[in-house]
């Protein structure tokens, strides 16, 4: 049993653009995430996941590959009281929503029930122990970040918590069917 999650990882060229954006942002006292940590989570499996069973359950995802693009900065729960600063999607909301639903349906029988709140695809850029007012920092124009890319696989990751931050290890990938 291990701590794990299912996610999409943008390609290196897109991560280069995320890196440039991150370097340009004044994120104050936030704990920045690193390039190795950038991904879009579809579902967190918790601290006691059977990754082999999860991989088997994900085989044959029904959502076809499609294009996505990052863009739009924001914060949870709000830009005024940020606990998490994120980079969302400029393109691909329907794709990521469908993937999150299909992944959730397949993993629920294993005890990995999706969160009750609405799914919001994003890359976490920074976390804050104390809520921070990030309205000024997030007012930059980031309507699109990087080029659109073909999302053609879902990745199962193991997460190892370290003092320096989480380390994510790729355990398996599940290819998506060709685009419709």
d(CA 127, CA 83): 6
Query: 86-103 pLDDT, tens per residue?
Result: 999 999 999 999 999 999
Token look-up 């440039």 returns: 20
Burial code (b: 16+ CB inside 10 Å, e: under 16) for 63-92 equals: bebbebbbbebbbeeebeebbbbbbbbbeb
For residue 123, the SS3 value is strand
Query: 104-136 pLDDT, tens per residue?
Result: 999 999 999 999 999 999 999 999 999 999 999
Tokens of 128: 């804050």
Closest to 65 measured CA to CA, from 109, 43, 96: 96
């Amino acid at each position: 049993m291990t701590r794990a999650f299912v996610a999409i990882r943008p390609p290196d060229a897109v991560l280069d653009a995320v890196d440039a954006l991150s370097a340009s942002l004044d994120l104050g006292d936030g704990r920045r995430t690193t390039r190795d940590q950038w991904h879009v989570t579809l579902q967190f499996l918790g601290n006691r996941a059977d990754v082999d069973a999860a991989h088997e359950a994900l085989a044959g995802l029904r959502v076809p590959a499609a294009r996505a693009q990052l863009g739009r900065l924001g914060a949870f729960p709000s830009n005024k009281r940020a606990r998490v600063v994120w980079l969302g999607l400029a393109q691909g909301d329907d794709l990521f929503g469908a993937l999150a639903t299909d992944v959730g349906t397949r993993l629920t029988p294993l005890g990995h029930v999706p969160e009750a709140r609405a799914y919001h695809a994003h890359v976490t850029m920074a976390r804050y122990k104390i809520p921070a007012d990030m309205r000024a920092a997030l007012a930059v124009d980031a309507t699109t970040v990087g080029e659109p890319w073909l999302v053609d696989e879902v990745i199962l990751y193991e997460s190892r918590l370290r003092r320096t931050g989480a380390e994510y290890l790729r355990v398996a990938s599940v290819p998506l069917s060709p685009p419709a």
